[in-house]
Amino acid sequence: MADIARTLARTRRPGAVERVLRELLTRSEAEKLSLRWEIVRLLSEGKSQRTIAHELGVSLCKITRGAREFHKEGSALRKVFRRQPAS
């Protein structure tokens, strides 16, 4: 994971990173990763787990892991999303 992270961090073009991820991941893996990202993004906006479940049409169980990681003290996810511009 560390090597992947270093390599992607050096790639300054989002389109190139997206292409690498699409080539590396199966369609199913990419969809799951995208869903997890969307869940954490919505958590970062302050939305409740129930609201997210309703908006995305997923069970609360799907949201639990992301929420647990997002709310941990020192969460890297929270730090990343604080720096993200609003979409």
pLDDT per residue over 8-61, tens digit each? Answer: 999 999 999 999 999 999 999 999 999 999 999 999 999 999 999 999 999 999
Query: What is the band of 83 on the pLDDT scale with cuts at 50, 70, 90?
Result: confident
- The backbone region for 47, taken as left when phi is positive above 0, alpha when psi lies in -120 to 50, beta otherwise, is beta
Total domain count for the chain?
1
Q: How far apart are CA 61 and CA 81, in angstroms?
A: 22
Query: What is the band of 85 on the pLDDT scale with cuts at 50, 70, 90?
Result: low
CATH of the domain at 53: 1.10.1270
Q: How far apart are CA 33 and CA 48, in angstroms?
A: 20
Q: What residues have CB less than 8 Å from 22, skipping those under 6 apart? A: 30
Range of the domain at 11: 2-83
Rg (C-alpha) for the chain, rounded Å, is 14
